[in-house]
Amino acid sequence: MMMYHVIYDGNCNLCVNLVKLLELLDRGDRFIYAPMQDQSTLDRFGITPEDCELGMILINAAHPDQRWQGSIAAEEIGRLLPMGWLFVEAYRAMPGVKWIGDRVYEQIRDNRYTLFGKRSTTYQSAYSRCKESCDRYFK
């Protein structure tokens, strides 16, 4: 099974709660999580703090040059979940809904601390380390 890295804002209450939900659904089978505050992970993938300002990042572990960011990353995560592709395709097929979703994502991204609060400590996922199955991609 393909593995993916989810780079999220570990200080954002909304982002952390969404990661916790993904952890429950996935149990580390497909997604590995790293907060945007983890500079060593950002360095490993060539991600700058400015890149992080554009929203969450999803990276294919087998092909790190394959990346999604922002609302497109959220859609791709949804597509990768069991039966999630049905919901993503329906969402994309409704006229105007994707455009609205992209704008809503941008507003939430840019105002997340005001809307949902900022954590006093960065959340570290229990599924933050590569399993043996993805370690081979970084040797």
29 occurs within a structural domain: yes
Domain annotation covers residue 139: no
Question: Which of 72-81, 106-115, 122-131 is least confident?
Answer: 122-131
* 115 assigned to some structural domain: yes
Backbone angles phi, psi at 67, to 5 degrees: -135, 155
pLDDT tens column, 27-57: 889 999 999 999 999 999 999 999 999 999 9
State both tokens at 74: 């959220």
Query: Of 76, 47, 64, 56, nearest to 134 (Cα)?
Result: 64
Residue 103 lies in domain: 4-125
The DSSP symbol for 6 reads E
Q: pTM score, two decimals? A: 0.87
Closest C-alpha to 72, from 39, 105, 26, 121:
105
Which residues have a Cβ under 8 Å from the Cβ of 41 and sit 6 or more positions away?
5, 7, 34, 47
Residue 72, in any domain of the structure:
yes
Residue 136 lies in a domain: no
130 occurs within a structural domain:
no
Written as six digits, the tokens of 118 are 């900022």
Mean pLDDT, to the nearest integer, of 100-115? 96
The domain total for the chain is 1
